[in-house]
Each structure stands twice: as C-alpha cells, then as structure tokens.
Structure 1
Amino acid sequence: LTDALNALLHEHGEATLGDNQVRTMIGTGVDNLVGRGVAAVGEHLQSAQLQKLITRFLQLYTAAATNRTCMYPGVQETLQFFADAGVQQGICTNKPEAISKQILADLSIADYFSVVVGGDTVAEKKPSPIPLRTCLTALKTKPGNSMLIGDSAVDVETARALDMPVGIVTHGYSRSPVASLGADFLIDDLSLLPTLIGELRAAS
C-alpha cells in the first residue's frame, strides 16, 4: 500500500510518505486511503480528479500487491488447524475483492477461505455490517456461531453491529490503542487462537 501510494504521489510530483504515516490512513478502503494520502501532501482535489487518482492507484497496487506483503508468524498453522477441524473460514476486508484474492493466492493460502468479501463486493464497506453479513451468509452461518478476528476499531464496530464476538490482534493497523477498542479479547500471537477460543467457550 505504501509503495503504491508513493508511486502515485511521485507521478504527480508530490513528496512521498513514510510507512508510519501511511499506516494511520489504512482501514477504511482504498478511496479513503488515496484521499488521505493526497491531503497529507497538501493537495485538495475535486471528486472527479480524486477518482482518477484512485483508479491509477488501483493499477499500481494490483501490479505490486505482494511486494512487501508477508504473513505474521503462526497464521498458516492456525488456518490449517481450523481447516483440519472443519471450521469454515472467510475474509471480510475493505480491500478490493480481486486484489484480496490475488494476495491470498500469492501467499498460497487462498484455499483456506470459502469466501472473500472485499470493499467493492457489496454496496457498502465496513464498518457497515452488510459486508460481514454477506460473508456469514455465504458461509451458511450466523453471528452467534462465528467470530471476527481483526486489527482495528472498524472491525470491532462491524462485529458489534451484528452482536458477533470479535478479537483484535495487537500488531495491526489500529489508529487507537488496541486496549481501548472494546474487543472481546486481544491476541499477540495467532498460533494461540485455538487455545484462546477453547478457553472462552469453557468460560461461557
């Protein structure tokens, strides 16, 4: 995301942004990311101009979506654990669907997911509950039988709209301290997720 945004800004003769700056702009979709990036370098564009930049950003991002993308430790093992246990897994993201599927394929984890709902799959993005409800419907399950694992306030708000349990990883893209987000639990290491879920079930 940072590389694509900076390539876009460079094409227009603007200064580039650091990783930490861009991290604070992530989480509510490509449109908002580009808008925030452009605003950060002092540009204020009309809607039509901004839409052209968004289109160009998507071209740049699609061409390099996994250049600096890697999985956090424990992710593949955890996905395999749930797959072996017969647990259906899906993705609900504000990234465009096609790019999301490309990233999953490039990381060799696409087969773990029965459904991918992206920011352009339905009419609204998270924190609207519509994308998450669409994902659950495709998985033939209900909020009370499911759990959302995310990394931001947007994910907590989305889950809460459906009264769905939500856990937040501590190393994601939250613009606020994760302890303040109101998630059901925080998790540092995703390989611990199966154990944590077991403990939560035992306590309920």
Structure 2
Amino acid sequence: MAEDRGRRPGSPRTREQILEAAVAAFTSRGYAQTTIRGVAREAGVDPALVMHFFGSKDGLFATAIKESMPVGPLTEVLDDGLDGAGERLVTRYLSLWEHPEHGPRLSAVLHAAAASPAAADLLENLVRAELLGPLGDLIGGEHGRTRALLAGSQLLGLAMFRYVLRIDPLASLPVPRVAAMVAPNVQRYLTGTLTAEELTR
C-alpha cells in the first residue's frame, strides 16, 4: 500500500504538533465541538496517532490544559512565602488573563468547564493537583486546604465576572485597581482570621 504522504508519522515533534493543534481547537471551538479527527487533521497526522499519544479526547484535553496553562508562573509567586502573597497572587493572575496568549486559553478552559461535565472534572483535578494542593501545603495547619480553596474561589469568580461574562464596571477597571481591591480578601483567606462558617465550606 502506498504511503499516505499527507500524514506525518510519529516523531519527537509530532506530540507537540498535536498539542498545538488541540490547544488552538479547544480555544477557538470549545471542548464540545473539538474532535479527535479535527485535531488530527489540523496537525497533519492520523487520528490513531492522537489516540496513541493521549488515549482519548479527555486525555488530550487534560494534557493540553496541563502543558499550556500558566500554572507554573502562578505558583512561583508563592516561593517568597505567605507574607504579601495575596497581592502577588492576584497581580500575577490578572497579568496572565491580560496576556494575549494565555488569556484566550484560560477563557476557553472556563467555557469548556461550564459546558461539559467531563471538562469540568478534568479542570478540577488539575487545579487541585497543581495549584490548590501546593498552596494548601504551604499554608499548612488544619485548614490549609480550605483556605486555599477559598482563595481559589475568589480568583475564579473574579475571572468569570471580568473576563468571561465581562460585567462592568469590573470588566473596565484598570488592573492595578482591581488587584488593590481583591488582594486584601485573598490575603485574609490565606493567613487572616476566618469565621467558623467559612472554615466549614
């Protein structure tokens, strides 16, 4: 059988090409409308090769999130400890959403999570493992994970209202002003006094 010259075989670069195509598809079309065949077509490979590397659409989505989302730049602000971490965390978070490459990807992930239970589960697992877990461990104590979850809920809500739903005046406020308003509450979640009700969420 003649070789299909329109398809590239597996190579050290093939996996990255598939991921690039997947990120572009999830960003532009969302989780529900992205298919293995469509990603394979954009990457110039056989769909079987996508399955070989990632196992399924969920596996492809999970890897695309993990390897393309800026989790590292967000967690590295914790390297300097918890003093002032609220301001650093919010400022870095907003800067990532404002970034021309990261912003659309983050928005696509939230849209996918809202539209698909499978995507939501994958995002939850990633966030718990890569962000909330390390943050909870850094906070420590009996309620470290709860404090991390509360801080994360503040950041997620901020992104939804400012960047996804684009509700004014929040959507139009300058980044430094938003950071100045939100950071104190994030810091309170991290290190401040919390009510019994907050700690039982």
Same fold (TM > 0.5): no
Q: TM-score, normalised by structure 2?
A: 0.35
More helix by share: 2
Which of structures 1 and 2 has the bigger CA Rg? 2
More strand by share: 1
Larger RCO: Structure 1 or Structure 2 (Cα < 8 Å, ≥ 6 residues apart)? 2
Q: TM-score, normalised by structure 1?
A: 0.35
